[in-house]
Each structure stands twice: as C-alpha cells, then as structure tokens.
Amino acid sequence: MKIETRPITDPSWLDFISTRDDAVIFHHPAWAGLLAECYGYRPFVLASLDEAGRINGGIPLMDVKSRLTGHRWISLPFSDYCSPLCSAPPVLESLVGHLRARYAEGAIPSVEIRAPVPEAALVHRAEMFVLHTLKLSGDPDALFKSFDRTRVRQPLKQVAQRGVTIRRAASKRDIFTFYEMLVQTRRRHGKSRSEARSSGTSGAR
C-alpha cells in the first residue's frame, strides 16, 4: 500500500469519491477550492493507493498557517463534517500511521482530523466538535414536533413570519441552491477574515 499527497483537483480523487456512498459535498474538490479562494489555504488530499495504483482511501486536508493558531493540517476547516474516506479499516490505519510517522520525524506540522480515527501514540482525542444526527420521517409535521421547542421550533416560526419559505427539498436544483448559500457564506466570512488579517488578527476554525 502506497501513500502520497495529491492535489485536491486530481481527477482520481473525484473518481474515488464518486463511488462512495459516505462521501458528502465537503469531500468534493469544488468545496476545497472555495476554501482556498476565501482563506488562502492550500488544499490537498493524503491518498492511499492499492497495488494497481488506484485510490482506495484518502483524507482531504488544508495547510493552515495562522499567526493566532500556528501551522496545522486540518481536515477540514469551515466544514460541517468531512471524515476520511476509506475502503476498509486497515486503509485508515495506514493513513493515520503515515501521519504519525511523518510528524514524529518533524516533516509535517500537527494534524487535526475532525472525525473518529484509530487511537494510538501521538493521537490525541479532544471533544471540541459535535456531530448531530437526526432520523428523518416521511411526515414533516411529526418531524417538526420532534425539534426542541425553544431552540428550533420557535426560531423557525419567527423566520416564517418574516416571509422565509420553509419546504422539503425535492430536486437536484435544491441541492445546488443550498450549496450556493454555503458559497456565499464562506466568501462573506473570507472577506471579513481578510479585513481582520489586515488589522493584525487571524485564525482558523
């Protein structure tokens, strides 16, 4: 098994994630490209290759250099959830082992993988982020009633009163609309961070 870094735009990475049911939009090269555009971080993927040279696992990463938080590789900043994608547990173990070895050699900075990984020496677990999962039902009214009244239902009613339409997504176009909203948010945040850097402060989430 061979492990190497590749550009996030490598067509073989896109081919690999296209075969994965557990891939999400944050694994897509377009998302990493957006983060690079907004924040100036370098995106790449740490890829595992099988004997035929095909990718069988990978961790998308951003090379983050900040005066506030230091130099780190992060998978991935400003993203809801982006776990490593691997064809089998040994592949993930090899990827994490590679990172551990390179860090011990002083060849790479510290690495943050914001998803579960095998515990081992030099691997430190911190409960800093939370992943919420929700079982969806076919009844929108029943789903709405399952939400917390104060934190979710009341705010949803308030935005509806202000003219915001809440409906169930039913097409591929809806997914693109949601992604466009993410793009606008990241670009707006990236602009704010650029202004903050010019005033002497910076950081990464």
Q: What is the pLDDT of residues 69-97, one digit of tens each?
A: 899 999 999 888 899 999 999 999 999 99
In a domain, 205, yes or no: no
With respect to residue 54, please indicate whether it lies within any of the assigned structural domains.
yes
146 within domain boundaries: no
Strands 70-75 and 110-113, sheet pairing = parallel
Residue 192 has pLDDT above 80, yes or no: no
Domain containing residue 47: CATH number:
3.40.630.30
Q: Which residue has the higher pLDDT, 34 or 132?
A: 34
In a domain, 134, yes or no: no
Lowest mean pLDDT across 16-25, 102-111, 130-139, 147-156: 130-139
Per-residue pLDDT at 111: 95
Distance, C-alpha 148 to centroid of its chain:
26
32: three-class secondary structure by DSSP: helix
Tokens of 73: 């590789």
pLDDT digits (tens, 9 = 90+) for 116-152: 888 888 888 877 777 777 777 778 788 888 888 998 8
The string of DSSP letters for 70-130 reads EEEEEE-TT-S----EESSHHHHHHHHHHHHHHHHTTSS-EEEE-S-----TT--------
The structural domain count of the chain equals 1
Q: Using 50, 70 and 90 to split pLDDT, how confident is the model at 1? A: confident
pLDDT of residue 92: 95
What pTM value is reported for the model? 0.73
Instruction: Report the range of poorest mean pLDDT among 98-102, 125-129, 131-135, 194-198.
Output: 194-198
User: Mean pLDDT throughout 16-23?
Assistant: 94
What is the pLDDT at residue 186?
Answer: 76
Overall average pLDDT of the 38-56 stretch: 94
Q: Token match 């897509």: residue?
A: 28
**Is residue 90 a part of any domain in this protein?**
yes
Q: Are 73 and 111 in contact (CB under 8 A)?
A: yes
pLDDT band at 47 (very low <50, low <70, confident <90, very high): very high
Identify the domain containing residue 66 by its residue range: 2-129
Return the ∠ at Cα 11 (arms to 5 and 16), rounded to 5°.
80
Q: Which two tokens stand for residue 112?
A: 């943050």
pLDDT band, residue 44 (cuts 50/70/90): very high
Query: Domain for residue 101, yes or no?
Result: yes
Of 168 and 53, more confident: 53
Q: What is the mean pLDDT of the chain?
A: 87
